[in-house]
Amino acid sequence: MEFETVIGLEIHAQMKTKSKIFCGCSTEFGAPANTHTCPVCLGMPGSLPVLNRQVVENAIKLALAADFTINTRNQFARKNYFYPDLPKGYQISQFELPIAEHGRMEIEVEGAKKTIGITRAHMEEDAGKLIHDDVEPESYVDLNRTGTPLLEIVSEPDLRSPEEAVAYLKKLHAIVRYLDISDGNMQEGSFRCDANISLRPVGREKFGTRTELKNMNSFKNVQLALEYEERRQRDVLLDGGEIIQQTLLWNPDKMRTESMRGKEEAHDYRYFPDPDLVPVEIDQAWIGAVKKSLPELPDARKQRFIDTLQLPEYDATILTASRELADYFEASLADYGQAKKLSNFIGTELLREFTPERLCDCPVKPGQLAKLLSMVEEGAISGKIAKTVFADMLETGNDPEAIVKDKGLVQMSDEGELATLVQGIIEANPEQVQQFRDGKTKVIGFFVGQLMQKTKGKANPQMANKLFQDALNK
């Protein structure tokens, strides 16, 4: 029996704002516990929330970028539940009237394009954090995170494989970072996702029973957890069993999902409109102003790279995977000018060391890379030496000229000097000379290799080739 996989994602993106969603406390990560708190985010009786305008603006940005319909009148609601990291006993979220609905986004998996529906996006506040003691049966609570603004983005169950789910997640991650509304840091939990997954027999319309996977803090974990759960559900169904609707935790060390809670414990949140907050009214002028302020988004930037820089689609896709990388590329291009050569070097040398999201850790500045490649263009160093110099730049952050000078890596382009070495190599290898004269012209590679060894890779390769050709054909 063949099964089809059905996946829908709920993503929480922590918004990048200076202060929390309903009070003036700082949202900065890593401060000593409970220092970024006030009566509002501590949930003290009598305190009142005041909405942060920037949060609404960020939500509008996402709504415009992913083709949502904006509810110009939307409302906050109380989601009631008890948990020690939630001082008020309810979370302020949105329920019946979220800020945005019916969005969509195009993804691409192995060359196939597909549009994924996005049910809704709403604003809400985050809860605090419990810290469990390793030894004692005690827990602590840090409320610095309570009231941090979140955008929850819920997809339609339109995804059909773990690959599609990861492609969707990556695309949304890129978009929030292009928009600069979230830093997207998955390790720090500012971009996290719960995945709902079910299987149904191919051809059947009705969805199967789903499970929900929590605790996935990297693209790789999302992929692995979904693959695992896909296999597990298939085995259960093939065995004639039934899927139990439950919440599962992905355990990356044991590489398996573990039950967190069953459906019988499912919450009844008793949502109701928050009486402390008036409905949010958004006028068209505000939407228009935000629209004008939107940066170029990944798809548009990719198309521009293809159209105006004549880059292959493959290169353009990689270079626009993150805003940092695309910015880095363009900054370097401004000083160097050769798009395809630059793309090749970035694709092989730079992205071997840094993911597109972590380019900020790269000590080589775009201008320094441009300088390095210009030196190759001018014949000062060979392409091969450039890679060595680049490795040095990554380690030291030094300028390429300084490294080339210090290490004596300047390309040997003195014809007289090289000709003498060429003559010596020819005399020392009569066997290969004979082979060349017998028509095995490929041995030219051997000769050039010898010269490279002697010059520690510094001989100008075009010149070396020509000198051997001339000498051997004499």
Contact residues for Zn ion (CB under 5 A)? 23, 25, 38, 40-41
Return d(Cα 179, Cα 322) in angstroms, integer: 11
Torsion, Cα of 121, 95, 165, 8 (10° steps): -150
Binding of residue 94 to ligand ADP (CB under 6 A): no
Cβ burial of 138 (10 Å; 0-12, 13-18, 19+) is exposed
> By C-beta, is 165 or 464 nearer to ligand ADP?
165
Residue 25: name its binding partner from ligand ADP, Zn ion, none (Cβ under 5 to 8 Å by kind): Zn ion
Task: Assign residue 370 a region (left: φ > 0; alpha: ψ between -120 and 50; beta: otherwise).
Answer: alpha
Least CB distance from residue 208 to ligand ADP, whole Å? 6
Q: Which region among 98-106, 152-160, 231-239, 268-276 touches ligand ADP (by CB under 6 A)?
A: 152-160
Work out whether 162 is an interface residue with ligand ADP (CB under 6 A): no
Binding of ligand ADP by 196 (CB under 6 A): yes
* Sequence-ordered alpha helix ranges (H) in 320-443: 323-336, 339-345, 366-377, 383-396, 400-406, 415-428, 430-437
Rank residues 23 and 422 by Cβ distance to Zn ion and give the closer one.
23
* Region class of 199: left (phi > 0), else alpha (psi between -120 and 50), else beta: beta
149 vs 95: CA distance, rounded Å: 16
Would you tell me how many other CB atoms lie within 10 Å of the CB of residue 51? 16
257 touching ligand ADP, by CB under 6 A: no
List the one residue from 63, 181, 197, 216 that touches ligand ADP (CB under 6 A): 197
Query: Is residue 339 a contact point for ligand ADP (CB under 6 A)?
Result: no
Shortest Å distance, C-beta 56 to Zn ion: 18
Q: Which stretch binds ligand ADP (CB under 6 A): 3-11, 70-78, 278-286, 346-354?
A: 3-11
Question: Please, what is the minimum distance in Å from the beta carbon of residue 96 to ligand ADP?
Answer: 13
Q: How far is CA 448 from CA 334, 382, 433, 456, 463, in A?
A: 35, 14, 13, 12, 10
9 binding ligand ADP? (CB under 6 A): yes
Pick the piece of the chain touching ligand ADP (CB under 6 A) from 7-15, 127-135, 283-291, 303-311.
7-15
Q: Which of 43, 157, 189, 461 binds ligand ADP (CB under 6 A)?
A: 157
Minimum CB separation of residue 217 from ligand ADP in Å reads 18
Residue of minimal Cβ distance to ligand ADP: 8
Tell me which stretch binds ligand ADP (CB under 6 A): 20-28, 155-163, 379-387, 411-419.
155-163
**Min separation Cβ 23 and Zn ion, Å:** 3
Query: Which residues are within 8 A (CB) of 16 and not within 5 positions of it... i.e. 6 or more apart?
Result: 58, 180, 181, 182, 183
Give the range of 150-158, 269-277, 324-332, 371-379 binding ligand ADP by CB under 6 A: 150-158
Point out which span in 94-102, 154-162, 297-305, 308-316 binds ligand ADP (CB under 6 A). Answer: 154-162
Cβ proximity to ligand ADP, 3 vs 29, nearer residue: 3
From 1-9, 26-34, 417-425, 426-434, span contacting ligand ADP (CB under 6 A) = 1-9
Q: Binding of ligand ADP at residue 156 (CB under 6 A)?
A: yes
Q: Does 207 bind ligand ADP (CB under 6 A)?
A: yes
Closest distance between Zn ion and the C-beta of residue 24, in Å?
A: 7
Q: Contact between 401 and ligand ADP (CB under 6 A)?
A: no
DSSP reduced 3-state for 117: strand
- Cα–Cα distances in angstroms (integers) from residue 112 to residues 230, 318, 320, 381, in the given order: 22, 16, 18, 42
* Euclidean distance between CA atoms 298 and 293, whole angstroms: 15
**Which DSSP helix (H) or strand (E) runs through 72?**
none
Q: Which of 94, 198, 247, 343 binds ligand ADP (CB under 6 A)?
A: 198
Of 42 and 472, CB closest to Zn ion = 42
- d(CA 470, CA 176) in angstroms, rounded, equals 59
Q: Which of 6, 375, 385, 393 binds ligand ADP (CB under 6 A)?
A: 6
Alpha carbons 114 and 108: distance in angstroms, whole number: 6
- DSSP line for 246-299: EEEEEETTTTEEEEEEEGGG------EE-TTSPPEE--HHHHHHHHHHPPPPHH
Establish if 169 lies at the interface with ligand ADP (CB under 6 A).
no
- Dist. CA 418–CA 404, nearest whole Å: 20
Taking each helix axis as running N to C, give the angle between helix 298-309 and helix 162-178, from 0 to 180 degrees, rounded to the nearest 10. Answer: 80
Q: Is 118 in the site for ligand ADP (CB under 6 A)?
A: no
Q: Tell which residue, 91, 100, 189, has the closest CA to residue 153.
A: 100
Q: For binding to ligand ADP (CB under 6 A), which residues are involved?
A: 6-10, 154-157, 196-198, 207, 210
